[in-house]
Amino acid sequence: MTVPTTTTGRLVEVDHPLVRHKLTLLRKVETDTAQFRSLVEELANLITYEATKDLETEPIEIQTPVETTMGQAVSGKKVAVVPILRAGLGMVDGVLRMVPVAKIGHIGLYRDEETLEPVTYYEKFPDDMAHRDVLLLDPMLATGGSVTVAVDAVKRAGATSIRLLAILAAPEGIARLHADHPDVDIYVAGIDEKLNEKGYIVPGLGDAGDRLFGTQ
């Protein structure tokens, strides 16, 4: 599903049989930590394919073993990948397989279990964020509080082109991010029904960080 509008960022639910299959495996309660980690990486790789569809290219002349021909090279802005710690770390390798020369920033946030408000504990970004397309990584867009604070931080660091790559989103988080940062496009493998009273995505997949790092 692609919903382009002029007033908010785009919302793209990556629609592909492999994405649907892997997302289903990821949700299952019996999926263990090792499988969960591989699936998050694979899904991040597939989402990146969609999220980088509009990168600019330019023609270049190359020599094949047979003859000289014209090819295409990615041009325009370079990429910065910014995982939101902890769970965003699980997506990094899948994204970097597609854009290996990207620089990497980090933002450390956790959601206070009582208030659900994000608490920032770490920030480190490349110094040329203004000249990069930023791919912000977080598997879960729940209330949207964490991503909103992370977008504030990358904007303070100079970024003007920002896309969120997530695995699951709740309608509440999408609405919050579009309201607070209408310039940020969202690419997601699945959009779920709602949040429960603890702020968990329903049906969801549980706590992404705990399942990735085996800390339940």
Binding site for ligand PRP (CB under 6 A): 84-87, 109-111, 116, 118, 138-146, 173, 199, 207-209
Q: What is the DSSP letter of 129?
A: G
CB of 55 to ligand URA, least distance (A): 29
State yes or no: cis peptide before 37, omega within 30 of 0.
Answer: no
Residue closer to ligand URA by CB (options 119, 130) is: 119
- Nearest in space to 94 (alpha carbons), one of 134, 54, 37, 147: 37
Based on the residue annotation, tell me whether 183 is a catalytic residue of this protein.
Answer: no
- What residue 138 binds from ligand URA, ligand PRP, none (CB within 5 to 8 A, per partner kind)? ligand PRP
Min dist. Cβ of residue 195 to ligand URA (A)? 7
* Nearest-angstrom CA–CA distance, 30 and 204: 14
**Would residue 111 show up in a list of annotated catalytic residues for this protein?**
yes
Query: Choosing among ligand URA, ligand PRP, none, which partner's interface includes residue 146 (Cβ < 5 to 8 Å by kind)?
Result: ligand PRP
The whole-angstrom separation of Cα 202 and Cα 191 is: 10
| 84 contact, one of ligand URA, ligand PRP, none, CB 5-8 Å limit per kind | ligand PRP
Catalytic residue among 93, 128, 180, 207: 207
Residues in contact with ligand URA by CB under 6 A are 140, 142, 199-201, 204, 207-209
Is position 207 annotated as part of the catalytic site? yes
> CB-based contacts of 13: which residues, under 8 Å, 6+ apart?
1, 2, 188, 189, 190, 191
- Give the one entry of ligand PRP, ligand URA, none that residue 201 binds, where binding means its C-beta sits below a cut-off of 5 to 8 angstroms depending on kind: ligand URA
Could you tell me which residues come within 8 angstroms of residue 6 by beta carbon, excluding any fewer than 6 positions away?
none
Say if residues 194 and 14 touch (Cβ distance below 8 Å). Answer: no
Q: How far is 55 from 63, CA to CA, in rounded Å?
A: 24
Active site residue 115: yes
Tokens (6 digits) for 113: 């279990």
DSSP annotation of 43: H
Any idea which residue has 């023609």 for tokens? 59
For ligand PRP, the closer CB: 32 or 54: 32
Nearer to ligand URA, 89 or 208 (CB): 208
- Tell me the closest approach of the beta carbon of residue 214 to ligand URA, in angstroms: 14
Q: Which residues are catalytic?
A: 111, 115, 207, 210
